[in-house]
Structure 1
Amino acid sequence: MLIQTLLIAISVSMDAFAVSIGKGLTVKKLRGIDACKTALWFGGFQALFPLLGYFAASTFSKYVTAVDHWIIFGLLALIGGNMVREAFGEDEENAKETAEFDWRHMLPLAVACSIDAFAVGVSFAFMTLNIWISVIIIGVTTGLFSAAGLYIGRAFGLRWQKPAQIAGGVVLILIGVKVLLEHLGMLAF
C-alpha cells in the first residue's frame, strides 16, 4: 500500500510541478525562501485536499466532481492568460508581479493544483490505508517536486525569459484545457 500511495503522490504532484516550472520561469532572482514557500503552499494544499476529501467521502464528492474541472480550467486559464499577457507587456512591474510568492499569488495556484486531490481523498475513504501517513507522503512529495520545478523553471528562464514566460502561461492554459476535456469525456488519458 505504501508504494501505491507514493505513486499516487507523484501523480497528483505533477500539476504543481508544472505550475512551479512556469512560476520559476518568471523569477528574476530565486531565493531559497521562495522555494520553501512554494513547497509549503503546494505541498500543504496537496495534503489538505485529500484529507478533506477523505472526511467528506462520498457525501460531497458528486457535487465537487461535477464542477472541479471548470474550477481548475478557470483558474489555470486566468493565471496562464495573465502570464502570456504580461510577457508581451513592457512594464517591468508586471513581470515582477508574476514572480511574487505572497498569499494572493500562491493561493489560487495551490487551490487549482489541489482540487483533483480531493477526489483522491474520497477514494482513500474506501481503501485500507492510514490517511495521515498518506497525506504526509502526498504533501512532502508535492513539496519536493514543486521546489525542484521552481529551480528548473528558473534555469530555463535565465536564458529565455520572455519565450519561457509565454510557454509557462500556455502550459497552464493547456493543463486547464486537458482537465476540462478529460472530465467532459472528450479526452482519455
Structure 2
Amino acid sequence: MTWLSTLVIAFAMSTDAFAAAVSKGASLSRPKFSEALRTGVIFGAIEAITPLIGWALGSVAAPYVAAWDHWIAFCMLTVLGLHMMHNGYKTDQAEAPVRTRHSFWLLAATGFATSIDAMAVGVTLAFIDNNILVTASAIGMATLLMVTLGVMVGRMLGALVGKRAEMLGGAALIGIGAIILYEHLSAVA
C-alpha cells in the first residue's frame, strides 16, 4: 500500500470523529486549546488502537465485525446523542453550571463509537500487504489533528447557538450514527 493511500484511509477514518468533535466543542463553554488537544489525544489513541485490534482478529472476526459494526456504531451514537440532548433540555429547564470539560469516559465512549469502522478496516488490512503499525499511527495522528480542529470549530459554533449547542450536538451524533448505518445498509443492497 502506498503512502498516499495510507493518508487517504487515515483522513477518511477521522471524518466522523471530526463531526463528533465539533458537537463536543459546541456543547462546552469556550473550550481552551488544551481541552481540544486532550479530546484529540483520546480520540486519536482510540482510533489508532481499533485497527490494530481488527487486524489482530483478522479473518476470525471478519464476518462478525463487518456484519455488526454499523449497528454497534449507530446504537452507541444514538444513546450518546440522546444523552446529550437530554442534558441540553435539562440545562434549559434549570440553569446548570456551564461545562468547560467533558469527562474522559464520555469522550472515550464517543471515540470508540466513531472508530468501530476503523476496526473493520483493520480486519481488511490483515489480508493485504500493509504495515499495520504505520497505517494505525497515521489514522491516530489524522484523528488527533481533525478532532482537535473539530473542537475548536465547535467552540465558534457554540458561541453562535448558545444554550442549544448540546441539543444540536446530540442530534449531530444521532445523525452521524444514522449516516453510518445508511451507508452500510445501502452498500449491501
**Length-normalised TM-score, structure 2:** 0.90
> 1 CA distance for matches of 2:39 and 2:46?
11
> 1 CA distance for matches of 2:149 and 2:51?
22
Counterpart in 2 of 1:93?
Answer: 96
- Listed one character per residue, the Cα deviations across residues 117-151 of structure 1 (whole Å, up to 9, x for unaligned) are 01111111122221111111110000000000000
* Alignment pair present for 1:66 and 2:67: yes
Deviates more, 1:29-38 or 1:152-161: 29-38
> 2 CA distance for matches of 1:137 and 1:22?
24
Counterpart in 2 of 1:137?
Answer: 138
Shift of 1:95: 5.8
Contact 1:70 1:180 in 2 (8 A): yes
* Alignment pair present for 1:162 and 2:163: yes
Shift of 1:180: 1.9
Shift of 1:153: 0.5
Shift of 1:65: 2.0
The number of residues matched between the two structures is 186
Contact 1:87 1:95 in 2 (8 A): no
**Length-normalised TM-score, structure 1:** 0.90
Aligned residue type for 1:80: G
Counterpart in 2 of 1:180?
Answer: 181
Q: Give the ranges of 4+ consecutive aligned residues of structure 1 lying more than 6 Å apart after TM superposition.
A: none
Aligned-CA RMSD value:
2.0
CA pair 129-42 structure 1, distance change in 2 beyond 3 A = same
> 1 CA distance for matches of 2:119 and 2:81?
23
Contact 1:16 1:146 in 2 (8 A): yes
Shift of 1:82: 2.0
Q: Percent identity?
A: 35
Shift of 1:183: 2.7
> 2 CA distance for matches of 1:167 and 1:40?
24
